[in-house]
Amino acid sequence: AQKVTQAQTEISVVEKEDVTLDCVYETRDTTYYLFWYKQPPSGELVFLIRRNSFDEQNEISGRYSWNFQKSTSSFNFTITASQVVDSAVYFCALSEASAVRASGGTSYGKLTFGQGTILTVHP
């Protein structure tokens, strides 16, 4: 069965510091999709990034970057020069290709989430 572990329960940083959120996953599928979502106090989950298992290229998007390593089953997420508005709960999530196929190719929202990391950025 799939599993996502976020070992960091809470992280506290001062504005402008870089912060890395850790995520480790378990899956038997050879094809899968990894996501990071942000949950601000308003409650909705906001999509941040997605990575396919067959693409290990790490990228940077603005202040966000991620480090995907299949060898260690990790999908870490970094915020550069953190801001107070980054304060939220961050969730790592996994979607398995077998679940996608079973649902007729529309199961990218069938997600297994980690327990979340509370990020607090102080001014």
Find the binding residues for another protein in span 15-54 (CB under 8 A). 33, 35, 37, 42-47, 50
Residue with tokens 């001062």: 14
Task: Tell me 101's DSSP state.
Answer: H
Binding segment toward another protein, per CB under 8 A, in 23-31, 56-64, 71-79, 108-116: 108-116
Window 50-69: contact mask with another protein (x via CB under 8 A): x-------------------
CA distances for 14 relative to 6, 30, 62, 76, 120, angstroms? 21, 39, 19, 20, 8
Q: Give the list of residues 6+ apart from residue 27 with CB closer than 8 angstroms, or none.
A: 2, 3, 94, 96
Interface with another protein includes 114 (CB under 8 A)? yes
Residues that bind another protein (CB under 8 A): 4, 33, 35, 37, 42-47, 50, 91, 93, 102-116
